[in-house]
Chains A and B, each alone.
Chain A
């Protein structure tokens, strides 16, 4: 197991286009998280799944953002009608959690640039 895997690593798109990011967590990890990070800021929480259920969503997650984890394994984060303000690093993390807050294992991130 090579850890949390994210792709694509870099995505450049034009404003108004849709983009999709994929995250493959560490196998057997029941929780999967999406964060967004912009320059000079810490990771900002977007949403997380426990198995296939989406348990929590941030107010940052506008209508244009949708995340899925259909079989409780990999997850996708789609951004529709991208805006320049969506330019950021999108981080995925997974954890094996039973009740408390387990250690989060992060991927290397997917960098989005919206022109």
Chain B
């Protein structure tokens, strides 16, 4: 089974403060991890994926297999970062395929001025 846990429902920070949105997963195989974001009145959309090892909008996330975590970080939060953030995992399906994404329950990030 694959499971994603986001322990914080709400994270409130001031503009310019560092942000860390926590994500822990449970999966015995080799996972693919993602962060999706939903801004107010917009669709859910991909923010970043671990295999790309890229920084998007200043956000980064490192897969830590030892701690089974994929925390999302940004050194200096901006007001436009306020949104709902979902961590998601895809496990293996057969030998080479991937299962559909399993999402966490989400963390709402509020960046105050």
Interface residues of A (CB under 8 A from B): 3-4, 33, 35, 40-45, 48, 55-56, 91, 93, 97, 99-101, 103-108
Contact = CB atoms under 8 A, between A and B. Distances in A.
Contacts of B99: 56
Nearest to B91: A101
Interface class of chain B by DSSP: strand
Contacts of B46: 103-104
Contacts of B106: 41-42
A42 B103 contact: yes
Interface class of chain A by DSSP: loop
Given A42-B106, A104-B46, 5 more contacts: A42-B6, A43-B103, A55-B93, A100-B98, A103-B49
Contacts of A40: 9, 105
Contacts of B44: 43, 91, 93, 104, 106
B51 to A, nearest CB: 8
Contacts of A108: 43
Nearest to A107: B43
Contacts of B97: 99
Contacts of B98: 97, 99-101
Contact of B32 (A56, A100, A105): A100
28 contacts: A4-B43, A33-B100, A35-B103, A42-B86, A42-B88, A42-B104, A42-B105, A42-B106, A43-B86, A43-B101, A43-B103, A44-B103, A45-B101, A45-B103, A48-B100, A55-B93, A56-B93, A56-B99, A91-B44, A93-B44, A99-B97, A100-B32, A100-B51, A100-B98, A101-B32, A101-B101, A103-B49, A104-B46
